[in-house]
C-alpha cells in the first residue's frame, strides 16, 4: 500500500502543476484534492485498516496503511469514497450557485476531480474499482492485466494530446504525466504474478473465516501449466480442478493445492503436479 499512496502523491503534484498552468483557481483544486485523498484514508480507517502516517504536503497528500492486503470489496469502497465526496460537494455547490449565485468554480473543480479519478486506468480510483470488480467476479490475473493495458493506453493518449499543444511548457508537463503513467504501468506489470499470489493467500484466509462460499468445478488438460489454471481463478469462487486426459478425468485437485504446488515447484504442468504429494497439510 505504501507504493500506491506515494504514487498518488506524485500524481497529485503533476495534477496541480497542470492546473496551475491552466487555471487561476489552483488552490481550490489543491484544497479539494487534499480532501479527496483524506476521505480515502478516513474510509480505510473506518473499515478497520490501520493507517500509519497521514502527511499533507504543499502539493498533495501521502499516507501509509500498515495492512499489506485489502479485501477487494473494501478496496472498492475506499476507492469510491473520494469521487463520491467530490460528487456530493459538487451537487452542494451547484445548488448554492443556482439558488444564491455562489461561485461556479467550486462545482467545476469537484466535477473535474471526480471524473478524472474515475478514469478506469492504472492507479486512478476508476482503475482500482474496475480491477477489483474483475478480480471478484472474473479473474485475478485479467484484473491486473487489463488495468496494466488501460494504463499504457491512457498514457499514450495523453502523449498524443500533447502533440497539439502550442505552449512548450504545457507540452512538457502533459508529456511528463503521460510518460509517468506508462512507466508505472510497466513497473506494475513486473509484479503481477506476485500480487496475484498475494491475493490468493488473502483469499485462503478470507474463505476460512467464511462458512459459505461458492464452489466451482473446472476441467483442464493434463498438460496445462499451473499458472494458466490460476489465471482463471477469481475471488468469489473456490475451485475444484479436474485433471483431464482427453475427455476422461483422472484426478481431482482443489485450488489450495494448485497454489501450493505453484509456490513449491514453479509453473509446472498438471501432469508433473500429479507426481508430487499434494495432500500434506496446507500452510494457509
In a domain, residue 201? The reply is: no
The most confident of the ranges 16-30, 199-213, 234-248 is: 234-248
pLDDT of residue 211: 62
In a domain, residue 282? The reply is: no
Whole-number Å distance between alpha carbons of 185 and 24: 32
Please indicate, yes or no, whether residues 137 and 260 belong to a single structural domain of this protein: no
In a domain, residue 283? The reply is: no
pLDDT of residue 203: 79
Q: What residue numbers bound the domain in which 264 lies?
A: 210-273
Residue 184, C-alpha cell as written in the block:
508505472
Q: Give residues with Cβ within 8 angstroms of 137, minimum separation 6.
A: 234, 235, 236
pLDDT of residue 88: 94
In a domain, residue 202? The reply is: no
Residue 135, C-alpha cell as written in the block:
478480480
Please indicate, yes or no, whether residues 31 and 169 belong to a single structural domain of this protein: yes
Please indicate, yes or no, whether residues 42 and 138 belong to a single structural domain of this protein: yes
Tens digits of residue pLDDT in 10-34:
555 555 555 555 555 666 777 788 7
| CATH number where 214 lies | 3.10.580.10
pLDDT of residue 276: 72
Please indicate, yes or no, whether residues 160 and 217 belong to a single structural domain of this protein: no
Per the structure, the count of domains in the chain is 2
Whole-number Å distance between alpha carbons of 33 and 13: 10
Q: Is 60 left (phi over 0), alpha (psi -120 to 50) or beta?
A: left
Whole-number Å distance between alpha carbons of 123 and 130: 11
pLDDT of residue 58: 43
Amino acid at each position: 500500500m505504501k507504493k500506491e499512496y506515494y504514487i498518488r502523491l506524485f500524481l497529485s503534484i503533476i495534477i496541480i502543476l497542470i492546473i496551475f498552468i491552466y487555471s487561476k483557481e489552483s488552490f481550490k483544486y489543491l484544497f479539494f484534492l487534499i480532501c479527496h485523498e483524506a476521505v480515502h484514508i478516513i474510509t480505510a480507517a473506518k473499515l478497520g485498516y490501520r493507517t500509519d502516517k497521514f502527511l499533507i504536503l504543499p502539493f498533495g497528500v501521502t499516507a501509509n496503511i500498515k495492512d499489506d492486503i485489502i479485501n477487494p470489496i473494501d478496496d472498492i469502497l475506499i476507492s469510491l469514497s473520494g469521487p463520491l465526496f467530490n460528487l456530493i460537494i459538487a451537487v452542494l455547490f451547484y445548488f448554492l450557485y443556482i439558488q444564491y449565485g455562489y461561485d461556479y468554480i467550486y462545482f467545476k473543480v469537484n466535477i473535474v476531480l471526480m471524473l478524472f479519478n474515475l478514469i478506469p486506468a492504472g492507479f486512478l480510483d476508476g482503475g482500482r474499482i474496475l480491477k477489483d470488480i474483475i478480480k471478484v467476479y472474473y479473474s485475478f490475473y485479467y484484473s491486473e492485466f487489463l488495468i496494466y493495458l488501460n494504463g499504457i493506453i491512457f498514457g499514450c493518449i495523453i502523449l498524443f494530446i500533447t502533440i497539439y499543444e502550442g505552449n512548450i511548457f504545457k507540452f512538457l508537463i502533459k508529456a511528463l504525466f503521460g510518460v509517468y503513467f506508462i512507466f508505472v504501468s510497466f513497473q506494475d506489470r513486473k509484479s503481477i504474478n506476485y500480487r496475484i499470489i498475494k491475493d490468493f493467500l488473502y483469499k485462503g484466509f478470507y474463505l476460512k473465516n467464511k462458512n459459505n462460499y461458492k464452489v466451482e468445478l473446472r476441467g483442464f488438460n493434463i498438460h496445462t501449466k499451473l499458472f494458466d489454471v490460476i489465471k482463471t481463478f477469481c475471488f468469489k469462487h473456490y475451485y475444484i480442478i479436474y485433471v483431464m486426459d482427453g475427455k476422461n478425468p483422472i484426478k481431482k485437485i482443489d485450488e489450495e493445492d494448485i497454489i501450493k504446488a505453484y509456490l513449491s515447484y514453479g509453473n509446472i504442468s498438471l501432469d508433473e503436479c500429479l507426481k508430487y504429494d499434494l495432500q500434506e497439510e496446507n500452510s494457509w
